[in-house]
A = this chain, B = another copy of it.
Amino acid sequence: MSGNSMGLLFTVTSFGESHGPGIGCVVDGCPPGMALCEADIQAELDRRKPGTSRHVTQRREPDTVEILSGVYEGRTTGTPIALLIRNTDQRSRDYGNIADTFRPGHADYTYWHKYGIRDPRGGGRSSARETAVRVAAGAIAKKWLHEQYGIVIRGHMTQIGDIEIPFRSWDVVNDNPFFAADESKVDELEAYMDSIRKSLDSVGARLRVVAENVPVGWGEPVYDRLDADIAYAMMNINAVKGVEIGAGFGCVTQRGSEHGDELTPEGFASNHAGGVLGGISTGQDIDVSMAIKPTSSIAQPRRSIDKAGEAIMVETHGRHDPCVGIRATPIAEAMLALVLIDHALRHRAQCGDVQVATPRIPGRIG
């Protein structure tokens, strides 16, 4: 594979550029017989869609998905499911002035050096627009995991720039533009984001994604550990610079007597492991956090060079998210779903018939 596929048994192969005819993917390995229609996928796409509030890019894309194959009479057939999202709002003129320069913090520079050719229209393949594909594929995975195992995958922002956002309730996450789990923080966040935009700057973020009801036993040690594949999947989202499982970097100052989650007949007494031990799910919640860098494209003048290596100043105008982290919540959920379904299938292949006498301990967040 040349880098645009992920998953061994539930494989997503992605294609498309920001300003080309469209983006999409082929999902190979979805088990047959599951009810599936475009509306199932569209619901998730609409959560990530641009233009939904003033705090995200104002590009107008309906992100309408078409299922090209793999579904017959409303059910998956076991054959590849191809999804296509046509690009409609391609204002390439916004980007024309940057074709010969490199934006600080942007993939312009590396794509140019790697391929010797570069599609400057909206960042081409490096655009975060590709993440719509992940959300679409993830919607299929989410549906199957929920139907087969009752798995629920949800995310929320835990920090935007300097503002920490505590967890209050899942119920409010989809009702505010920040995927905040505490609605009392929304006004503060609105004002904060307005000030960032006014200063022609952008800001980083931190988010968390949780999968509940994952059975014990998923994950393939020693390399394709469940947490290793999660780290891969999260780090391959545009702009992510750090990933944590469970206690994450907090474990550095923990003692073993604190970190190691005790077991009781009623379940684990805590979840510092984040639902994974030895690379295999414990039956507790899978608990993942990640850091997302501030948007690279800002309207302030910055030092850079052009293709000839000459010093220039660059300002990036156009329609950019002032905090790319905000719309990353549904993307991170999708990525977690893609990892989990792949390991569900791998586990079914290898250990399908293993029966263990011990009662399975229900996981719970500590």
Contact = CB atoms under 8 A, between A and B. Distances in A.
B72 A119 contact: yes
Interface string A296-330: 11101011110111110000000000000000000
Interface in A181-227: 196, 201-206, 216-225, 227
Contacts of A358: 112-113, 307-309
A26 B358 CA distance: 31
A121 to B, nearest CB: 8
Contacts of A277: 105-107, 109-110
A17 B311 contact: no
Interface in A327-344: none
A67 to B, nearest CB: 8
B254 A294 contact: yes
A263 B109 contact: yes
A245 B246 CA distance: 19
Contacts of A22: 68-69
Contact of A249 (B206, B273, B311): B206
Contacts of A273: 105
Which 3 A-B pairs give the minimum distances between C-beta atoms?
A: A107-B278, A105-B260, A3-B220
Given A232-B232, A262-B304, 9 more contacts: A1-B29, A2-B220, A4-B224, A113-B360, A125-B221, A248-B291, A256-B298, A260-B296, A348-B352
